[in-house]
Amino acid sequence: MAKQFTPKVVTANALLSGDAVWLTEDDRWTGDIAEAELLSDEAHADLRLIEANLRQAEIAGAYLADAKATDNGPAPTHFREEFRTRGPSNYFHGKQAEA
């Protein structure tokens, strides 16, 4: 029996900065997962991933990541994705320096 589809977001790394980014419903890349489009339909999620992968001049390594709906927008459900929301871990810069 096939595994039941769970909600996803499209995520990748910004080509120039290397930061983790998420695809919004209006086709922007954002550094805030809470602004991402939460995909609850498997076919639509697959289509959005295909569309994201056509934007190789902007991003690298697009994939679907598990997420859940919250009052503040999508949130990660896996440690790896939670870690990616915090920015680079080698030293304080980018999102970490702003916090």
Q: How confident is the model at residue 38 (pLDDT cuts 50, 70, 90)?
A: very high
Distance separating alpha carbons of residues 11 and 33, to the nearest angstrom: 9
Q: Which domain holds residue 59?
A: 8-98
pLDDT in tens, 47-93: 999 999 999 999 999 999 999 999 999 999 998 898 888 876 655 65
Residue 42 one-letter amino acid: E
Pairing of strands 8-14, 73-76: unpaired
pLDDT in tens, 23-36: 999 999 999 999 99
Pull the structure tokens for residue 77: 């459900």
User: Is there a domain that residue 2 lies in?
Assistant: no
Distance separating alpha carbons of residues 42 and 40, to the nearest angstrom: 6
Residue 87 one-letter amino acid: G
User: Is there a domain that residue 1 lies in?
Assistant: no
pLDDT in tens, 49-62: 999 999 999 999 99
Pull the structure tokens for residue 76: 């990660």
Pairing of strands 73-76, 59-70: antiparallel
User: Is there a domain that residue 32 lies in?
Assistant: yes
